[in-house]
Amino acid sequence: MSKKPLQFIHNGRAEAVFVEDGQNLLDVLRREVGDLTAKYGCGQGACGTCTILVDGQPQLSCLTLAETVEGKSVETTGGMMDGSELHPLQAAFMDHFAAQCGYCTPGMLMAANALLRQNPNPSRDEVVEAIGGNICRCTGYQPIIDAILEAAGKMSQRRYG
Amino acid sequence: MGEAMLDFRKDYFKDERDDDLNEIGKPTQRQDALGHVTGRSPFYDDHLFDGLLHLKCARSPHHHARVRNIDTREAEGMPGVVRVLRGKDVPANLNTLLSLLDFGLDDEPVLAETKVAYMGEPVVAVIAETERQALDAVAKVRIDYEPLPHVLDVEEALQPGAPAVNETYPSNAFIYYEKYDHQKLRFGDVEKGFREADQVIENVYQMSPIEQAPTEPCGAIAAPETNDRYVCYTSTQGLFFSLGTTAKLLNVSSSRLHFIGGTVGGGFGGKVDSLHEPLAVLGVMLTGKPVRYGYNREEEMQVGAPRGGERWVIKDGIMNDGRIIARKFTGYFDSGAYTRLSSYAVVKGTGHLPGPYTIPNVSSDVYCVYTNRTPSTAMRGFGITGVDFSIECQMDKLAHAVSMDPIEFRILNSYRDGDMKAHRRETKNSALIECCQVVAEKANWQLSAAAKDASSLKDGGGDRAVILPTATDEFGRVQTANGEPRREGRPKTHLSGKTGVDAVLDVPADAYGRGIGAPHQPSAPTSPPQQPTPAPQPTPAAAPPAAPPPQSQPSPPPAASKPATPPPVPPPPAAPEVRRSPTRFSSISGLRRR
């Protein structure tokens, strides 16, 4: 079993690991890098639980071959906080009880994060569309949508206010 | 959106409630919310260990088959394989989940030895250095099956001559209280009620199995601890349930098991079965290394226990003025191949009958049936939701039959405080009438003045608190097997006062006259008829060479040849196992044994 070196930017820091042929990015993040904030849900691209950002775009890490992120920027929920301060999305998820079991939450946050970077003032429908690939089995989607809309408002205020 | 969803009707029952509370009714932040939004809540799989091994199972491709031979030699030689486990490696390879509550007989092996009873039943477990290697080796396990006839329908399973799914209950029905092949409820005399009724209406309702489908699949990671214990991180919903089950199956004191859980990525009932912890801990005992046994999504959906299917036959005797005077249930819970929690679901469901209505004559016969389906288990109100669905569908049909408004029909039959319920407890704090009134109000549904004026607090009790003379019978009585004396002393035919089930089901009159046997109690959990020799061995205690037998290949895979760390001090030899009989459930449901 041959291993190949892989270098990429992980939450803003240079990372170098050895990966197996065909190893997926989720497995590499969890087992090789030790970033456990990305979660396994289905391993087949159906649930969105493992959503991460590659160069700012949401991607399913279970279906991403690790070697394809060579030299790219990979972001996970583990990199969302600014020092000890929660990202507005994280704070809004807490305020709105948008996480019950918490397992889909990192993937939801990354999908929402990607949306707000591209579209700082999304409509409710656009939020629904953006998290359409992420399955939540307990809290329900309304509090999650409310949280994302509130975070968008707060982030806009911070920018322009 | 969302704001007006909560509507407190604090005028109702205000004298029964204390609103001067410190926490209730006020928002509070959950203690685990910060962990959830930062992705740092420690789910079972979020624990990293050096040298973590992975366990995967070879599973039955058949609904029902005899296991003729198991050949693991090729699998043992596969790259990365550290250990291959079979049923005989499990110290006490037979359990039933509710044995911890002393309810039911042990009927399910961790790893099947002589027979598989559902598609996906685990037979062999492979422990390897990576998950992929474990899966590759699982594909090399050779199991020689002799397919047997199978049964997938609850009523077919109860027919004479149906394949015996579960060797502990060869008649395919759980035995309640060592007496009956189903859970009984008798209150008044339904047959008399049907004779006196203006109309008798009967319908059949069927619910499908449902997979709980949590986003986090079930699993566990176990590892040796330095204090002569085993630590186990698990996704279980019932931590002490899993701990007790593991202790029993592995013949190890529970004080040597350090279970850590509480962070569950969605459960909905599907994470109580304690299937992963015993194998993960056994893997640690036999390899000395940390072992992970987790379902992938395919296993979660295919093998993970669902909510069981249910079939309900409801027969009502109704007067033309809308009063229901008799209600009879025949229910079938599809337990799948093993009991798990379905026996309890039946008891719980029976305690719930006849729904929130005051009916003077109620009878029910509910079966926990074994079929060659995936064993079913808990899910969100299991035992209740299926029959409630059936009852409420039936209520709509009854209302239509007597040309009444469906909400007013419910209000008319609703129980009121002081009424006697079918399980012989007085109704207290009921609110169905008020609930119906609010629903009608919200839906702009016109109710009559009488219905608007009704209240749970009035018109109850009196005649409605009377228990009518109750017709009892011995329908479904289990026959004594091989003439052994019955504790009750009255061995006799299983069926004396036959009630109307035969007619309801349109089966031959003697369909249940096939002599349902007393539950079969195997002398030893792992001694099947074909192979009397392999008595259960406390293998972890007696097996210092944890690696597979020496390899003869030219270049043995490194993992297989390197002797694993000897497991921590072996557990003391187990005391002779005491077989338990199916007994009472009084601690949970209040139902008495006799």
Residue A43 at interface with chain B, using a CB cutoff of 8 Å: yes
What pLDDT score was predicted for residue B510?
34
What average pLDDT does range B199-217 have in this prediction?
97
Interface test with B, best of A33, A50, A105 (most B CBs within 10 A): A105
Interior CA angle at A31 toward A27 and A36, to 5°?
85
Nearest to A111 by CA among A122, A100, A101, A95: A122
Strand partners, B122: B59
Q: Does the pLDDT of residue B585 top 50, yes or no?
A: no
Q: Looking at residue B588, what is its pLDDT?
A: 40
Q: Do A77 and B38 touch (CB under 8 A)?
A: yes
Mean per-residue pLDDT over chain B, rounded: 84
Residue A154 is predicted with a pLDDT of 95
User: Do B37 and A44 lie within an 8 Å CB cutoff?
Assistant: no
C-alpha distances out from residue B320 to B86, B197, B404, B487, B548, Å:
64, 8, 10, 47, 75
Q: From the CA of B559, how many Å to the nearest CA of chain A? A: 14
Pick from A40-44, B103-107, B500-504: least confident: B500-504
What distance in Å separates the CA atoms of residue B465 and residue B424, rounded to the nearest whole number?
Answer: 9
Kindly report the average pLDDT of chain A as a whole number: 96
Is residue B43 less than 8 Å (CB to CB) from chain A?
A: yes
Q: Which of A103, A113, A123, A150 to mutate to test the interface with B (most CBs of B within 10 A)?
A: A103
Judge whether B354 and B319 are in contact, CB under 8 Å: no
**Residue B12 or B148, more confident:** B148
Q: What is the pLDDT of residues B210-257, one digit of tens each?
A: 999 999 999 999 999 989 999 999 999 999 999 999 999 999 999 999
Torsion sign (Cα): B526, B340, B112, B285: negative
Distance separating alpha carbons of residues B184 and B74, to the nearest angstrom: 52
Q: Which residues of chain B have a CB within 8 Å of the CB of A106? A: 39
Q: Reply yes or no on whether the pLDDT at B122 is more than 60.
A: yes
The answer to whether A138 and B271 have CB atoms below 8 angstroms apart is no
* Cβ contacts of B30 on chain A, cutoff 8 Å: 97
CB contact under 8 A, B40 and A37: yes
Q: Do B265 and A37 touch (CB under 8 A)?
A: no
Q: What is the DSSP letter of B565?
A: P
**3-state SS class at B201:** strand
Whether chain A has a CB inside 8 Å of the CB on B31: the answer is: no
Contacts of A109 (CB under 8 A, 6+ apart): A77, A80, A87, A89, A90, A93, B37, B39
* Percent of chain B scoring above 70 in pLDDT: 80
SS3 assignment, position B438:
helix
Which residue of B28, B38, B40, B53 is the best one to mutate when testing the A interface, meaning the one whose CB has the most A CBs within 10 A?
B38
**How far apart are the C-alpha atoms of B320 and B200, rounded to whole Å?**
11
Q: What would the two tokens of residue B290 be?
A: 């940390």
ipTM of the complex: 0.97
pLDDT 10s digits, B169-184: 999 999 999 999 999 9
User: Per-residue pLDDT averaged across B32-41, rounded?
Assistant: 97
Conformational region of residue B449, where left means phi above 0, alpha means psi within -120 to 50, and beta covers everything else: alpha
User: How many CB atoms are closer than 10 A to CB A9?
Assistant: 15
What are the pLDDT digits (tens) for B364-374?
999 999 999 99
Does pLDDT of B536 surpass 50? no
> Are B38 and A46 inside 8 Å of each other by CB?
no
CA angle A124-A126-A130, nearest 5°?
A: 120
Tell if the CB–CB gap between A105 and B30 is shorter than 8 Å.
Answer: no
Instruction: Write down the pTM of the prediction.
Output: 0.84
Of B284, B171, B140, nearest in space to B225 by CA: B284
Nearest to A142 among B2, B32, B266 (CB): B2
Which pLDDT belongs to residue B274? 97
Residue partners of B556: CB distance under 8 A and separation at least 6? B77
Answer whether residue B516 shows pLDDT above 90. Answer: no
CB contact under 8 A, B38 and A39: no
d(CA B261, CA B252): 20
Q: Note the Cα B464 to chain centre separation in Å.
A: 35
* Chain B nearest-CA residue for A143: B2
Contact present, B308 and B382 (Cβ < 8 Å): yes
Q: Are B123 and B61 in contact (CB under 8 A)?
A: no
Query: What is the pLDDT, as a whole number, of residue B8?
Result: 76
Candidates A30, A43, A103; nearest CB to B266: A103
What pLDDT does residue B25 have? 75
> What number is the average pLDDT over the span B388-413?
98
Q: For residue B531, what are its two tokens?
A: 């192979």
Cα→Cα distances B416→B320, B404, B410, B451, Å? 21, 20, 12, 13
The predicted pLDDT at position A1 comes to 59
Q: How many angstroms away from the CA of A107 is the closest CA of chain B?
A: 9
Cα torsion B333, B336, B340, B345 to 10°: value is -10
- pLDDT > 70? residue B519: no
What is the mean pLDDT of the segment spanning B551-570? 40
Among B60, B70, B68, B65, which residue's Cα sits nearest to residue B143?
B70
Residue from the list B37, B41, B215 with its beta carbon closest to the beta carbon of A86:
B37
Chain B interface disruption, residue of A101, A104, A148, most B CBs within 10 A: A101
Please, which residues have CB within 8 angstroms of residue B241's CB and are 6 or more apart in sequence? B97, B100, B272, B274
> Of B154, B102, B483, nearest to B310 (Cα)?
B154
Q: Is residue A12 predicted with pLDDT exceeding 60? A: yes
Residue in B2, B35, B38 closest to A81 by CB: B38
Residue B203's pLDDT is what?
A: 98
Between B269 and B12, where is the model more confident?
B269
Cα–Cα nearest to B92, from B108, B80, B78: B108
B296–A43 C-beta distance less than 8 A: yes
- For A85-128, what is the HEC assignment? ECCHHHHHHHHCCCCCCCCCHHHHHHHHHHHHHHCCCCCHHHHH
